Amino acid sequence: MKKATGLSLHIGLNAVDPAQYEGWSGPLAACEADAEDMERIASARGFTPTILRTAQATRDSVAGAIKAAAQKLVKGDIFWVSYSGHGGQVPDINGDEPDDLLDETWCLFDGELLDDELYALWAQFKPGVRILMVSDSCHSGSVARLALSTPSTGPARAALADFGVNEELRYRFMPREVALRTYRAHAAFYDSLQPRKARRGKKGAKPAATPSVKAPVRLLSGCQDNQLSLDGTFNGLFTSNLLRVWNDGKFKGNYAAFHKAIVKRMPPTQTPNHFTTGAHDPAFDAQPPFAI
């Protein structure tokens, strides 16, 4: 029986190219450190890892690494991608985001990578390949609204202090005004990345075709859709607590138990998410985290 193969990609951006974000460089402190710590776990667990730091983490390099993994891996193998950086949003033009009318993005160095694009990349993986995503970012369409009331003072700030967050607060999201400027400057490009609806004469359009994802995909993310993810000095808050729970591989339990243990360590202002999509794989559900 073939031994399973594990490939991983670890992305950490402490800044973005201001030329591609209308003058905004998006400085953060701990995203490269997050990627390095994820790479260390991957190596210890037997993955063959790739790491992309800040200027290396371009749209082409990230998509290219994912496509290469999709070509190589077969049923029983696993691909793990971790992302630490800013989350952004662009207007949804193809009607696949009816709740907030926004597509969520990863803010890569030379431009945003849309959730539509990620979903299309997962569709390139063969059935039976497990896909694990660990994302320590804000990538919700709700962040623009919440950015107006981030917990910098008052009871919410005190609650963060109770969980050991006493430093200057930095959130991993693209500010609303930057998102607007960036989209308006590059609207034709970002619109072209979304699957378009097929026209049916003057009577309207049918929904855009959604690529079928035949692989099981599991996401552990830094917060819920209506929350923000905190950066830190040494790691993002979510990654920091993930590392504490992992405890150099001493953690015992499956992904659900891992998620629950991380949530217990987090303040009420930031609740990590855990969900699956694509094909259902009960064996993947039962495995310990980061198992090949």
Task: Express each pLDDT in 211-257 by its tens digit.
Answer: 789 999 999 999 887 778 999 989 999 999 999 999 999 999 999 99
Domain edges within the chain: 6-194+210-285
Tokens found for residue 266: 């987090």
The pair phi, psi for residue 191, each rounded to 5°, is -65, -35
CA separation for the pair 28, 83 (Å, rounded): 13
Q: Is 8 helix (H, G, I), strand (E, B) or coil?
A: strand
Check residue 40 and give its pLDDT. Answer: 98
CA separation for the pair 149, 117 (Å, rounded): 30
Task: Express each pLDDT in 238-249 by its tens digit.
Answer: 999 999 999 999
Extract the residue ranges of the chain whose pLDDT is less than 70.
Answer: 94-101, 139-168, 196-210
CA separation for the pair 50, 67 (Å, rounded): 13
CA separation for the pair 196, 93 (Å, rounded): 8
CA separation for the pair 110, 92 (Å, rounded): 21
Q: How far is CA 10 from CA 24, 34, 56, 66, 256, in A?
A: 23, 9, 11, 11, 22
pTM of the model: 0.87
Domain 6-194+210-285, CATH: 3.40.50.1460
Query: What is the separation, in whole angstroms, between the first and last Cα of the chain?
Result: 14
Quick one: CA dihedral 146, 149, 154, 157, positive or negative?
positive
Check residue 197 and give its pLDDT. Answer: 54
